[in-house]
Amino acid sequence: MSRSAQATNQGPEKEHRCPACEGHRLIPFYRVSGVPTQSVLLRPTRAAAINAPCGDISLHGCSDCGFIFNPAFDPNTQNYNVDYRPSQGCSTTFSRFHQDLAGYLVDRHGLHNRTVVEIGCGQGEFLQRVCRLGQNRGYGFDPSLVERNEDDVTLIKDVYSARYRDLKADYFICQMTLEHLADPAALIDLVHDAAGGNPDAVVFFQVPDVRRIITETAFWDIYYEHCNYFSPGSLARLLRRRNFLVRSLWTGHQGQYVMLTAQPSRKRAGEPLPGEDTPEEMRRWIQDFSQETELRCRDWSDRLATMAESGKETVLWGGGSKAVAFCTTLTLRYEIKGVVDIDPAKAGTFIAGTGQEIVSPEALRAARPDAVIVMNPIYMEEIREELSRMDLRPELIPITARPAGRLGPKPKFEDGEEE
């Protein structure tokens, strides 16, 4: 186990309340101290990376609604400027996923010649796809984007707030944003107000699926910026509690994301959909996570130390939040020689907390590592092809590899929309 991570199972606490349901029957189950408060903010020097501002993670699960959150999160630590680089858009695999999802939403909801608002749009790539596929008019909001206008899209460098509630739209998109908000219900209420006057308005939310994180014991997917962790059930229950009628619920990108569509209602409405988990299930999962996390961390620490001591040079592929969480949770220094990322903006910057340099794939021609740990196994084939192009044959190790005989088989959650 690292010096900073602790699995805890201390029973219910009453000092905090759940941001989703205001319940107080909370179970603390995982703590990491001294982690970077912003994982993907570009750090130009090793010293700046090692001395990056830090905070604490203290995950609590709500026994009443199944929601998981970090009450130690301080929103004042977050600075989403142009140096904040969370995008996966440089990957062909991710681009195909986004293109397919945009096409699905346009076809499924008849998005043609409509007005679309995206909250937390990044650099606007997904919104542009939706608008071009359906000849729609789009407005995107994000404090980190480079503000600009195009024929079909207006990108606004700002947080979506009450000042924009009079901007009426037929469709609202919110991808990978709710997990960053200390008060997710406030944004959902704002969207309800903005969409409530249009009986045909639809909202689409996408968040990481915490079931995968918990059941894979994926401690590398727990980082400070993500103060909330949703399952299909907890997300749907939150929307209903804020007077939305949940229309569909499914998972995608090989089970990494929960996706949901809903419409504003005047009251709480609708029954649970087939894909929803229960608070009781979540309580069992977090108990298992508490028991297995220490074992998982120790296995990785021992494995990497053994590889380094035997002279093997190991790099990580993927210079985002997963790499930062992996390195800082295990307090890795000499064990990881560097980090590879295909985003050219990250080359020459450094991993927050532990200070490994991020390099482009081409740098591996000279480095010739013995092993590459793939931080997101969904990109394994894409990475294998890139290495083969450079005539490199290192051992490829998916981060999800489970030590034989130590941790049991993980549950599988099938993709597929539920109506």
Q: What is the pLDDT of residue 417?
A: 47
With 50 as the cut, is the pLDDT of residue 11 above it? no
Residue whose C-alpha is closest to residue 376's, from 252, 209, 218? 218
Residue whose C-alpha is closest to residue 60's, from 4, 3, 12, 2? 12
With 90 as the cut, is the pLDDT of residue 39 above it? yes
Instruction: Report the length, in residues, of the chain.
Output: 419
Residue whose C-alpha is closest to residue 219's, from 66, 329, 72, 376? 329
Token pair 């005989």 in the structure block, residue: 405
Interatomic CA distance for residues 217 and 226, integer angstroms: 16
- What separation in angstroms does the CA of 49 have from each of 174, 359, 380? 30, 15, 27
Query: Could you read off the pLDDT of 90-118 as tens digits, one per residue?
Result: 889 999 999 999 999 999 999 999 999 99
Q: What is the pLDDT of residue 82?
A: 66
* pLDDT, the chain, mean: 90
CB burial readout 12-32, b (16+ within 10 A) else e:
eeeebebbbbebebbbbbbbb
Interatomic CA distance for residues 254 and 277, integer angstroms: 18
Q: What is the pLDDT of residue 146?
A: 78
Q: What is the pLDDT of residue 172?
A: 98
Q: How would residue 402 be classed by pLDDT, with cut points 50, 70 and 90?
A: low
What does the block give as tokens for 158?
């700002």
- Return the percentage of the chain with pLDDT > 90, whole number: 79
pTM: 0.91
Residue whose C-alpha is closest to residue 239's, from 165, 189, 194, 304? 189
Specify which residues 35 forms β-bridges with. Answer: 55
- Return the percentage of the chain with pLDDT > 70, whole number: 91
Q: How would residue 401 be classed by pLDDT, with cut points 50, 70 and 90?
A: low
Q: What is the dihedral of CA 95, 99, 105, 110, to 10 degrees?
A: 160
Query: Could you read off the pLDDT of 202-233 as tens digits, one per residue?
Result: 999 999 999 999 989 999 999 999 999 999 99
CB neighbourhood size of 190 (10 A): 16
Q: What is the pLDDT of residue 7?
A: 53
Q: Identify the helix (H) or strand (E) that includes residue 134.
A: helix 125-134
Interatomic CA distance for residues 272 and 294, integer angstroms: 34
Q: How would residue 5 be classed by pLDDT, with cut points 50, 70 and 90?
A: low
CB neighbourhood size of 342 (10 A): 19
Q: How would residue 6 be classed by pLDDT, with cut points 50, 70 and 90?
A: low
Q: What is the pLDDT of residue 4?
A: 46
Could you tell me the strand order of the sheet in which 5-7 lies?
Answer: 5-7, 26-36, 54-62, 68-69, 228-229
Q: What is the pLDDT of residue 408?
A: 40
The CATH number assigned to the domain with range 303-398 reads: 3.40.50.720
Whether the CB-CB separation of 252 and 178 falls below 8 Å is answered with no
More confident: 39 or 2:
39
